Structure 1
């Protein structure tokens, strides 16, 4: 079984340059977890490119199972990246699928 972890965020910034910087920082910090958190099988993260009513940043990651996802959630590197993400986001949406 593989767990597909999908997360989207709406950023607090309204200024386009500030929003772009926060999105880039999120992508760098979360993308930097690959190779650090062994449980990550694959991870893609980046800003929305269409705009409008879309959310601002999305992450798609794969984990072997729910236990691997749970270990990722509490890994110190993920907790550190998550602290930055929480500091620049207004809303978060997540869905975990079995694929």
Structure 2
């Protein structure tokens, strides 16, 4: 399984603008699992602490394989989502890694 993690710093000039941008990004991304079958799971989170040093929004999504992630990246609905998100962002960071197993605390 491949886990895709993306973080964004938003370009809003104040907290209210960044909150509105984060809501737009969340709504845009959370609509994708309904139209892109390669997405196994998708979660979007908005930062709730240390806004001066933390990134503003994070996406965590899982795919069966690297091929599934690649299919997602070129899917027309994902491409459309990037056109919504890019103008709101000042910086982007991502990591894609293989998940061998999920550990749970008992």
Runs of 4+ aligned structure 1 residues displaced above 6 Å come to none
Extract unaligned runs of 5+ from structure 1. none
Q: How does 1:79-94 map to 2 (within 5 A)?
A: 79-94=79-94
Q: What is the aligned length?
A: 98
TM-score (norm. length: structure 1): 0.96
- How far apart in 2 are the matches of 1:62 and 1:24? 21
Aligned to 2:90, what secondary structure does the other structure show?
strand
Residue of structure 2 in register with 1:35 after alignment: 34
| Deviation sequence 1:43-84 (CA, Å, 0-9, x none) | 000211112300000000000000000000010100111111
Residue of structure 2 in register with 1:52 after alignment: 52
TM-score (norm. length: structure 2): 0.90
Extract unaligned runs of 5+ from structure 2. 100-106
Of structures 1 and 2, the larger Rg is shown by 2
